[in-house]
Amino acid sequence: MLAAAMPGALVTGAGGGLGLAIARRLAERGYSVAVTDVDGPAAERAAASLGGDCWAIALDVTDASACERAAADVAARTGSLDVWVNNAGILSTGVLHEQDPAAHRAMLDVNAIGTFNGTLAALALMRSAGSGHVINIVSLAGLVAAPGEVAYSASKHAALAFSIGALTDLRRTGIRDIHVSAVCPDGIWSPMLHDRLDDPDAAASFSGVMLTPDQVARRIEALLDRPRPVTSIPRWRGAVVRLFDLFPSLALRLLPVGLAEARRRQRRFKQRLERQAP
């Protein structure tokens, strides 16, 4: 008797950080994982570190056709595309009206359009198969406008709306066994933040609970068993930022206090890392 084929999965932005942690969780769970990244050599190294039936694809998520080809590659190699995780993202900080509009465009292209492209590429195959799960890594910045990260927040708001809307359209057309989940984690100690310890405009990313990639990856793995439309990590932080979203005038009045505390936390985090350094 032939052995059952391993289910197929793909993770974008998996050359390191959270994406690699997610890919590792999926591989340990028994998935054959396409480890993708715009940096092809980083994807190769990440796939090699995972071993097993994991392989690398150099993927620019802003290219819709490339996403479709990657989805087809997973299905051809494993027989199915069961999970697609849109994790690729970029962050540029600064005062909105002082930033180069090209930075705004780049964040929209990767964080929003890249999520659209990956979701649609995955759903095209999942709809034919009648099952599957798309998981979109958004951010708490997708729930509230983070100071110093306004354009980034806007791109993540778009990704969140698209995720919920995609799930709504699946359900209203009678599709019940395909899931779309948006994950909104607090700050994650990943390559995106490694160089931001001295950046005052990035302080909002350090304002709450600093998570490890594996902590977030464990929560994402849990969604495979119990899908949810939106998951904030930790849950209480999602409730807090939604409160500010409901009462923007209150958020504006509290902004100086919140930013001061965020910058203190950022400095403390840097000092703690410096003490731990050999």
Contact assessment for residue 140 and residue 237, using Cβ atoms and an 8 Å cutoff: yes
CA distances from 66 to 11, 12, 23, 102 (A): 14, 12, 20, 23
Contact assessment for residue 135 and residue 84, using Cβ atoms and an 8 Å cutoff: yes
Q: How many CB atoms lie within 10 A of CB 258?
A: 16
Instruction: Give start and end residues of each alpha helix (H) in 79-149.
Output: 101-107, 114-129
Largest separation between any pair of C-alpha atoms in the chain: 68
Element (H, E) at 83: strand 83-86
Asked whether the CA dihedral 28, 31, 36, 41 is positive or negative, the reply is positive
Contact assessment for residue 47 and residue 98, using Cβ atoms and an 8 Å cutoff: no
User: Hey, which residues are catalytic here?
Assistant: 152
Radius of gyration, CA atoms only, the chain: 19
- Tell me the Ramachandran region of residue 51: left when phi exceeds 0, alpha when psi lies from -120 to 50, beta otherwise: left
